[in-house]
Amino acid sequence: MPRTVTARRRVLLITGLALALAVMALVSAGTGQLYVSPAEVFGSIMHAVGLEIGPLPAHPNGESALWTIRFPRVAMSIVIGAALAAAGLLMQAVFGNPLADPGVIGVSSGAALGASATIVFGWAFFGEWTIAVAAFITGLAATFVVYFMSRSGGKTEVVTLVLTGIAVNAFTGAGLALMTFLGDQAAREQIVFWQLGSLNGSRWQQFWIVLPLIVVGVIVAFVISRRLDLLSLGERSARHLGVNVEGLRIVAIVVTALLVAAAVSFAGIIAFVGLVIPHLMRMIIGPAHRPLLVASVLGGALLLLTADLVARTAVPMADLPIGMLTSLVGGPFFFWLLRRARRSAGGWG
């Protein structure tokens, strides 16, 4: 494909995703039991930044509903979707496989084990933040265990990393089953609900904790994106071109762990965003990692924002688990990827 056509396609895709995300944010913020029109949502935002543009919500509780309930949830869905998509892109680059997922390095299962242990044992070291903090710490810890156990001779082989991740995931899965067995009925229900993922109850305090972690992770991913392009040529070629492959792999794994741990600490397990979005973007605009990262971040944010809107509006007076919805979309897509990968002998497609 000519370079000019690819560049034009990238610009169109990124611009379209950005516009769609902005529109979906306005629609999502105004949709619910108390409806606020997109124009009123936009007007509320403009008035908040000191610009008297657009109408304010006509309902007397409209402003309060937007700024205390809707906007925090919209903001959390955007940054968490972006984080999961960026993490998926990094894992696919490190493993050189479009079927790679952040869960390979054990961060999600580790976070689930920490959260479930906190629920069962009633720990409250950090007050209301204990579950989130425990999930974050154990998610990072599981990743570091996977990494250090997979090192041999000062290097980390991709195959060994995958196998070690499988072993650690099996161990944390057994621990999660034990916690479910030890907990009472209320604890079991809370564990199950946490694993299904939800943005219900998102608050500004949570957003301001998660935001800097995710911003730092995405910035580092953007900085190393050029070297990821060289890594895609193969480890030997990348080394000849001056890339520290082992150092690059360490940075990518640490950033992935940071992004996913920050995301799941408050939202629970949300599957398939990191698998579906990067691969879909790659199919549209090609394998160059810098534009691919931008498109994946926007696409992940858009997907999770849309899924969250469906989760809280599909069933009246109910809030569906968002992880269930992403799995409903991601599961069939994953099977399609498997079939496609088999036809192309495991290539990037």
Contact (Cβ atoms closer than 8 angstroms) between residue 62 and residue 34? yes
CA distance 318 to 198: 12
Look up tokens 């195959």; give the residue. 159
Residue 275 lies in a domain: yes
The pLDDT value given to residue 4: 73
Listed in sequence order, the residues at least 6 apart from 202 whose beta carbon sits closer than 8 Å to its beta carbon are: 72, 73, 75, 76, 77, 266
Contact (Cβ atoms closer than 8 angstroms) between residue 61 and residue 248? no
| Cα-trace Rg, the chain | 21
CA distance 151 to 6: 39
Residue 1 lies in a domain: no
What is the CATH classification number for the domain harbouring 165? Answer: 1.10.3470.10
Look up tokens 């070690």; give the residue. 164
* Angle (CA) 84 86 90, round 5°: 115
Residue 40 lies in a domain: no
Residue 189 lies in a domain: yes
User: What are the φ and ψ backbone dihedral angles of 151, each rounded to 5 degrees?
Assistant: -75, 140
User: What are the φ and ψ backbone dihedral angles of 62, each rounded to 5 degrees?
Assistant: -65, -50
CA distance 189 to 207: 25
Look up tokens 């992403």; give the residue. 326
pLDDT means per 10 residues, the chain with 349 residues, are 74 96 96 92 93 89 93 96 95 83 87 93 88 92 88 73 89 93 92 90 93 96 95 89 90 93 91 89 90 96 95 87 86 76 55
Residue 17 lies in a domain: no
One-letter-per-residue 3-state SS of the chain: CCHHHHHHHHHHHHHHHHHHHHHHHHHHHHCCCCCCCHHHHHHHHHHHCCCCCCCCCCCCCHHHHHHHHHHHHHHHHHHHHHHHHHHHHHHHHHHCCCCCCHHHHCHHHHHHHHHHHHHHHCCCCCHHHHHHHHHHHHHHHHHHHHHHHHEECCEECHHHHHHHHHHHHHHHHHHHHHHHHHCCHHHHHHHHHHHHCCCCCCCHHHHHHHHHHHHHHHHHHHHCHHHHHHHCCCHHHHHHCCCCHHHHHHHHHHHHHHHHHHHHHHHCCCCCHHHHHHHHHHHHHCCCHHHHHHHHHHHHHHHHHHHHHHHHHCCCCCCCCHHHHHHHHHHHHHHHHHHHHHHCCCCCC
Overall number of domains in the chain: 1
Residue 62 lies in a domain: no
CA distance 289 to 243: 15
* Nearest C-alpha neighbor of 139 from the set 184, 187, 83: 83
The pLDDT value given to residue 346: 47
CA distance 304 to 325: 9
Residue 34 lies in a domain: no
The pLDDT value given to residue 7: 83
Q: State the sign of the Cα–Cα–Cα–Cα dihedral 79, 211, 293, 139.
A: negative
Look up tokens 């989760």; give the residue. 311
The pLDDT value given to residue 279: 87
The pLDDT value given to residue 348: 45
Q: Residue 148 belongs to what domain range?
A: 71-343
Residue 20 lies in a domain: no
